[in-house]
Amino acid sequence: MNVQFSITEQGVGIVKIDGGLNASNVDDFREPCFLWLAEHEAINLFVLDLGAVDFIDSAGLGVLVELLKRVSERGGDVRLANLQKQARIVFEITRAYKIFAIFDSVEMAIQAES
Amino acid sequence: MKAIFHTGLRSTLGDKLGAVPWCLVPFGGKPLLEYWLEWATVLGVDDVRLVLGDGAFEVESFCGDGSRWGLKITYGFLKDGVPPESYVRRLSTTWEEGLLYICGPVFPQRLAAETGLINPKVLERATWFTHDKGQVCCLLSTHQQDIQTFIKGTLPAVQTNWSDLGLEPLLISDLKAYYDVNMRLVKGENRRYVSQGYGGRDGTSIGYNVQIPPSVELIPPLTIGNDCRFHSIAVIGPNAVIGNHVIVDRQTELADSIVLDGTYLGRNLEIKHKIVAGTKIISPEDDIIVEIAEPWLVATLEAPVRFSDGIRLVIGWLLAVLLTLVQALPFVLLYPWIHLSGGGLYRLSARLGRKERVVQLPEWTILAPASLKVRLFVGLGLDLFPLLVRAACGHLWLCGHVPLHPERDQALRKRLHRYYPAAIIYPAQQQTAYSDPAIEMANALYYERYASLLEDCRTVSRTFTRRLMSALSE
């Protein structure tokens, strides 16, 4: 799994994940992501680009919920973009779509009002 | 009138749903094959020939001799790749009274709730058929010339409109069509057929032995099969089609969905506009299939052990222990000698054992076939000793299928509805390892169909007798 971090001109943190997000590689995402989160305390809005994530299991969902919780605690928000069909089904059946704001593209996620 | 139903052909419906042979896939809670048999009854058919293939055992177990429907059912097989209509050609039967032929996943959709026998005059010298790319998938004919034309492999020239019969066969070509038919059935069309459960006027149909606590909310219309359990605060419906042996855990919502037999739905899920088949969640709208590997979300309930399998397992285990005790001393004496002299050795190989667990199994490799001690070793069946030990430990059956490779043999594994990885297999009987996948497939399907205690005893006795005779003759 490959994770890329970037910050837009508007000061939005973009996290792009490439590959499946499951129990076998969830730590490869959690550690760098939370480290990066701690290093950028000023950023309150994070957009997760899941366009290249073909599958998410409950461990993957768990880390996304954990990320949302940490960001919410400091008054921020986590938005998901480009959710693929396979991953979307997991979000649907587990009701995870009710706690995340999900957008069709990264641009829409950035521009949406809070 | 006579009927021929092909159930053995491959179908995308069966491949995608995967749980049962496609002809037993439920429509509105009832297997597709049952709709065919009921249609045959209405048409006055007395003799049904079922052509079997994959899942032959399940199909035959379901239909029996046909007395449930007042029919006489006989069974036959057709080789892979042979045109299905050639089966009609090979039968010596005459078709004076007519022929009902179904080949593929065709749903005989009734246009109205008509349950009486069809007036024979409507059927006189007429032909109805539905085809898919020139291949007849459903034909009903009382016209001799048309039947002969069809048998020769061409489409009859003239066809009558199906609606004259109050019925229209629908070819279920994809999951979307399957989902749509089920939704239409649960919304009210299932009243046109023989009911599959106890129902009220509100469109609810519930089978027997279903546990529903008071906190469960049932929103009609819905169809629930037999032997189901619903846990507290679950919300079922509207438009839910639930098969047999289904467990829905607490707080789960299920609507506009189909749940196939033997499925567990975990806690606090929301299943809407989906087909759930064991561990598969299918979105019929966009034909996406997601395989969920987490048993606390969705899971396949283990099929109950068949009584005959239980007997086979116990007696097989006792026999495996006995053979292990008998072979232990000769093995300990002979194998180190053979191994040190370079006559042969065991190599470990990953295989699927019982309960689909990946196990490392020893494979015997002969390095010096001409050696007397190696011939004696194999002749006495001592090369099977490590596998018999695994059978005695409960990791393998005594007799059954070749233990399959977890990756290389996936295609064969998918075709087997029951898998019995074993210490003694058909090739072991002949001391050769088959490399031809077609023969391996035929052996595997044959054993799946004819697995019995008698077959096991026959396999064990033949294996050791032939090995010994072969060693002595050399």
Specify which of A65-69, B370-374, B422-426, B460-464 reaches the highest per-range mean pLDDT. A65-69
* C-alpha span between B339 and B349 (Å, rounded): 18
Rounded to the nearest 10 degrees, the angle between the axes of helix B372-379 and helix B307-340 is: 170
Sign of the CA dihedral with A59 first, then A63, A64, and A69 last? positive
Per the structure, the complete domain to which residue A64 belongs is given by: 2-111
* C-alpha span between B472 and B474 (Å, rounded): 5
pLDDT range class, residue B83, cuts 50, 70, 90: confident
Q: Which residues of B touch A55 (CB under 8 A)?
A: 290
Interface contact flag, A85 B288, Cβ < 8 Å? yes
Nearest to residue B33, comparing CAs of B120, B105, B141, B83? B105
Bond before B221 cis per omega within 30 degrees: yes
Please say if the pLDDT value at position B430 is more than 60.
Answer: no
pLDDT range class, residue B441, cuts 50, 70, 90: confident
Nearest to residue B460, comparing CAs of B328, B354, B319? B319
For the stretch B185-224, pLDDT in tens is: 999 888 888 776 777 678 899 998 999 999 999 999 999 9
* C-alpha span between B54 and B35 (Å, rounded): 20
CB A73 within 8 A of CB A38: no
Question: What residues 296-335 of chain B have any CB closer than 8 A to a CB of chain A?
Answer: 296-298
Ranges in chain A, pLDDT < 50: none
Specify the number of domains making up chain A: 1
Put simply, whether A42 touches B (Cβ < 8 Å) is: no
Please say if the pLDDT value at position B157 is more than 60.
Answer: yes
Per-residue pLDDT, averaged over B133-159, amounts to 86
For the stretch B261-303, pLDDT in tens is: 989 999 999 999 999 998 899 999 988 899 888 888 999 887 6
φ/ψ (deg, to 5) at A12: -100, 130
pLDDT range class, residue B432, cuts 50, 70, 90: low
Q: Provide the pLDDT for residue A68.
A: 94
User: For testing the chain B interface, which of A93, A94, A95, A99 should be mutated: the one with the most B CBs within 10 Å?
Assistant: A93
3-state secondary structure B400-455: CECCCCCCCCHHHHHHCCCCCEEEECHHHHHCCCCCCHHHHHHHHHHHHHHCCHHH
% of chain B surpassing 70 pLDDT: 95
Q: Provide the pLDDT for residue A107.
A: 93
Put simply, whether A54 touches B (Cβ < 8 Å) is: no
Put simply, whether A92 touches B (Cβ < 8 Å) is: yes
Complete domains list, chain B, with CATH: 2-173 (3.90.550.10), 198-300 (2.160.10.10), 307-473 (no CATH)
Nearest by CB: A86 against B269, B274, B288: B288
Q: Provide the pLDDT for residue B229.
A: 95
Interface contact flag, B281 A85, Cβ < 8 Å? no
pLDDT range class, residue B114, cuts 50, 70, 90: low
For the stretch B352-390, pLDDT in tens is: 988 888 889 998 888 877 788 888 888 888 999 999 999
User: For testing the chain A interface, which of B279, B290, B298 should be mutated: the one with the most A CBs within 10 Å?
Assistant: B290
Q: Provide the pLDDT for residue B57.
A: 81
* C-alpha span between B39 and B58 (Å, rounded): 21
Nearest to residue B202, comparing CAs of B181, B182, B217, B223? B223
Please say if the pLDDT value at position B418 is more than 90.
Answer: no
Q: Provide the pLDDT for residue B429.
A: 58
Put simply, whether B295 touches A (Cβ < 8 Å) is: no
Put simply, whether B233 touches A (Cβ < 8 Å) is: no
Per-residue pLDDT, averaged over B62-82, amounts to 87
Which SS3 state, helix, strand or coil, does residue B215 take?
coil
Please say if the pLDDT value at position B433 is more than 60.
Answer: no
Using the CB atoms, write b or e for B230-260: b if 16+ within 10 Å. bbebbbbbebbbbbbbbbbbebbbbbbbbbb
Cβ-Cβ pairs closer than 8 A, A with B, add up to 36
* C-alpha span between B138 and B124 (Å, rounded): 18
Which helix or strand (DSSP H or E) is residue B5 part of? strand B2-6
* C-alpha span between B93 and A60 (Å, rounded): 61
Please say if the pLDDT value at position B95 is more than 80.
Answer: no
Q: Provide the pLDDT for residue B304.
A: 63
Q: Provide the pLDDT for residue A105.
A: 93
Query: Tell me, what's the ipTM?
Result: 0.84
For residue A10, what is the domain's CATH number? Answer: 3.30.750.24
Q: Could you tell me the strand order of the sheet in which B2-6 lies?
A: B72-77, B47-52, B2-6, B99-103, B135-141, B127-132
Per-residue pLDDT, averaged over B445-460, amounts to 86
3-state DSSP: chain A helix, strand, coil percent, rounded to 5?
Answer: 40, 25, 30
* C-alpha span between B158 and B174 (Å, rounded): 28
Structure tokens at A3: 């994770």
Q: Which residues of B touch A86 (CB under 8 A)?
A: 288, 290
